[in-house]
Amino acid sequence: MVALQLAARAGFDVDALLQVLLNNRLLVTAALIWATLRAGLRWGMPLLVLVEFFFATALARHAGTSANLTDLAGLLRIAIECMMLELLVLLLLMYSREREAALRRHERASLVEPLTGLSNVAALRRRCEVDGLPPLGFLLLDRVEKISTGLGLRAQAELPRWVATQLADLADTYHIGTGQMVLVPSAPQEDLAAQWEYVLQRLHESEFVWMDRRLRLLPYLGVAGAEMHEETLDARMLRASDAAIEARQRGEMRLQRAGMLAGVAPQVDRQRALQLSSTVLSRIRAGEIELHFQPFEPLSSRVAHESVSGEILCRLRDEQGELMLPGQFLGELQADRRMAELDLAVVRQLDRWLREHRPRLPLLGRLSINIGGQSLASRMFAQELLALLDRFALSPRQLCFEVTETAAITHAEESAALFAGLHERGCQISIDDFGVGFQSFERLKQIPVDVIKIDGSFVRDMTRSPRDLAMVRATVMVARAFKAETVAEYVEDAETAQALRELQVDWGQGYHFALPRPLDDVLLRR
């Protein structure tokens, strides 16, 4: 009221101004809504109070001049409209307040790892934007996966919180991933060396306790300081993580400092490995597998001579179209745990080739196909392989599946059903690299073996090493006891081939007889 009186004394037509507000109340409300959205609750509420005051004053002054019922009805309608508009703006203010609170909650949540409740890398980035890039430590905890399998997921989630509590007075902890944390030390620059040593010492001396079970950690710590100018946070974390990984590879649970160029070569290696892994998986899933074949040479009269028997081998092409040998890509597949996918792809590709070349099927004897340890441990692999064999282009009796001695015994329980299914269909089982694993004969009895392959490390030097010769002879005797055929690998000269014949080895395989060649070259040109 004081403001209106001052405006009247200054010569303003207050009644005209209030009438304009009433006549343009929708426009005033729209402006109020826009102001609320722009200014938020802090300034929106005073604006609402001010506009409400003007509306009430205008109505009061208008009521004082009204003399008939028609004017009073119009005045009442205007009052109701003003109340509804004010209610709309009030609801909008409440929504704006809730939205701002939700944004603040979301922002706080984005800085915290949800499972552990610890600050994450986004919080570290926010800190670096404000305070600059500090020295970093990358803490790598080995065997963390065993905690989830042995103690449960709750224990795995509790472990990073426990580590952060243990190191609370030494460093701020930022959780990056399972068993991986970035540490920002709380000590000044001149005391950093001792601070990092204290971090490792405390973790070495502490025990993680969960449900009365105690666990010793295996911590590896890599640190990266401000040796490199104009370095980004990602680059410094990479240097520190490379140092921690190097410490783990060496088995050294002591402080590992990152060098000036650390991170460059390891990063390039990781990028190459990632690209290779991606290429290999793409080739496998697209069915772009090239089958090679290395024949078995019959060495005794106990086996058939008229047909072609041998081992099916797998080759892939890299991005440049160059042929890759198994040693170039099997490591990545094993690390990615995709060996079962490769083994199934080889069987599918062989089935396709056989269907496309049915006239050549009468030439074939026994085809050996490799199965890895990861495949033996996979129930999915067993189901899909047996389903493939039920509609295979070649009689299952002409198929032999090779498994290594160690893998067969390690996964004896998981592979029992697979071996039984293969035997039911007439397939044979071959033990590859026999003698290398030094497994007991008692456990070997659990495997339904049909063929024993004598490892090439014994065959290669058997004519010069009495010990290797004795191992080959013993393997032949074991095979006879199991009523199994024998195949000698790595036969590289005539002298070795003759020695194997004298020991009554059934088959020979190696460069002396034939090199591995594309399956088309071996069978289509006969």
- Considering the domain architecture, whether residues 350 and 219 belong to the same structural domain is answered as no
Instruction: State the CATH number of the domain containing residue 159.
Output: 3.30.70.270
Is there a domain that residue 158 lies in?
A: yes
Structure tokens at 463: 């004519």
Mean pLDDT of 299-326: 88
Confidence bin at 7 (pLDDT 50/70/90): very low
Asked if the model's pLDDT at residue 229 lies above 80, the reply is no
173-191 burial: b if 16+ Cβ within 10 Å, else e: bbbbeebbbbbbbebeeee
- Considering the domain architecture, whether residues 350 and 370 belong to the same structural domain is answered as yes
Asked if the model's pLDDT at residue 44 lies above 90, the reply is no
- Tens digit of pLDDT for each residue in 486-509? 999 999 999 999 999 999 999 999
Asked if the model's pLDDT at residue 442 lies above 70, the reply is no
Asked if the model's pLDDT at residue 77 lies above 90, the reply is no
- Considering the domain architecture, whether residues 72 and 6 belong to the same structural domain is answered as yes
Is there a domain that residue 216 lies in?
A: yes
- Considering the domain architecture, whether residues 445 and 477 belong to the same structural domain is answered as yes
- Tens digit of pLDDT for each residue in 449-482? 999 999 898 999 999 999 999 999 999 999 998 8
Asked if the model's pLDDT at residue 1 lies above 50, the reply is no
Is there a domain that residue 264 lies in?
A: no
The span from the CA of 31 to the CA of 52, in Å, is 14
pLDDT at position 6, please? 46
Mean pLDDT score across all residues of the chain: 80
pLDDT at position 32, please? 64
Structure tokens at 371: 């199965």
- Considering the domain architecture, whether residues 377 and 425 belong to the same structural domain is answered as yes
Tell how strand 297-298 and strand 507-508 pair up. antiparallel
- DSSP, res 117: -
* Other beta carbons within 10 Å of 21: 17
pLDDT at position 153, please? 75
pLDDT at position 103, please? 73
Residues 244 and 224: beta-carbon distance below 8 Å? no
The string of DSSP codes covering 295-336 is EPEE-STTS--SSEEEEEEEEEE-TTS-EE-HHHHHHHHHHT
- Considering the domain architecture, whether residues 382 and 464 belong to the same structural domain is answered as yes
pLDDT at position 62, please? 55
Residues 505 and 454: beta-carbon distance below 8 Å? yes
Structure tokens at 149: 């399998």
- Considering the domain architecture, whether residues 36 and 136 belong to the same structural domain is answered as no
Confidence bin at 66 (pLDDT 50/70/90): very low
Choose the weakest-confidence range: 79-93, 133-147, 349-363, 509-523: 79-93
Residues 362 and 389: beta-carbon distance below 8 Å? no
Is there a domain that residue 266 lies in?
A: no
Asked if the model's pLDDT at residue 326 lies above 60, the reply is yes
Helices 144-151 and 153-166: angle between axes, nearest 10 degrees: 130
Task: Read off the amino acid at residue 337.
Answer: R
Domain-terminating residue out of 79, 109, 139:
109
Mean pLDDT of 364-380: 92
The span from the CA of 19 to the CA of 65, in Å, is 13
* Other beta carbons within 10 Å of 421: 16
- Considering the domain architecture, whether residues 303 and 451 belong to the same structural domain is answered as yes
The span from the CA of 290 to the CA of 356, in Å, is 15
The string of DSSP codes covering 243-298 is HHHHHHHHT--S-EE--SSTTHHHHHHHHHHHHHHHHHHHHHHTT--EEEEEEPEE
Mean pLDDT of 160-168: 89
- Tens digit of pLDDT for each residue in 343-370? 999 999 999 999 999 998 998 999 999 9
Is there a domain that residue 351 lies in?
A: yes
Domain-terminating residue out of 64, 88, 109:
109
pLDDT at position 420, please? 93
Domain-terminating residue out of 74, 109, 144:
109
Asked if the model's pLDDT at residue 34 lies above 70, the reply is no
pLDDT at position 472, please? 94
Mean pLDDT of 377-395: 94
Is there a domain that residue 213 lies in?
A: yes
Residue bearing the bigger pLDDT, 510 or 119: 510
pLDDT at position 178, please? 82
- Considering the domain architecture, whether residues 192 and 95 belong to the same structural domain is answered as no
Confidence bin at 295 (pLDDT 50/70/90): very high
**Domain region containing 57:** 2-109
Nearest-10 Cα torsion for 350, 355, 361, 367: 10
Asked if the model's pLDDT at residue 425 lies above 50, the reply is yes
The string of DSSP codes covering 179-212 is TEEEEEE-S-GGGHHHHHHHHHHHHHH-EEEETT
- Considering the domain architecture, whether residues 361 and 475 belong to the same structural domain is answered as yes
- Considering the domain architecture, whether residues 210 and 295 belong to the same structural domain is answered as no
Q: How many domains does the chain have?
A: 3
Share of the chain above pLDDT 70, in %: 74
Asked if the model's pLDDT at residue 113 lies above 60, the reply is yes
The span from the CA of 242 to the CA of 223, in Å, is 9
Is there a domain that residue 116 lies in?
A: no
pLDDT at position 439, please? 55
Is there a domain that residue 433 lies in?
A: yes
pLDDT at position 205, please? 84
- Considering the domain architecture, whether residues 219 and 304 belong to the same structural domain is answered as no
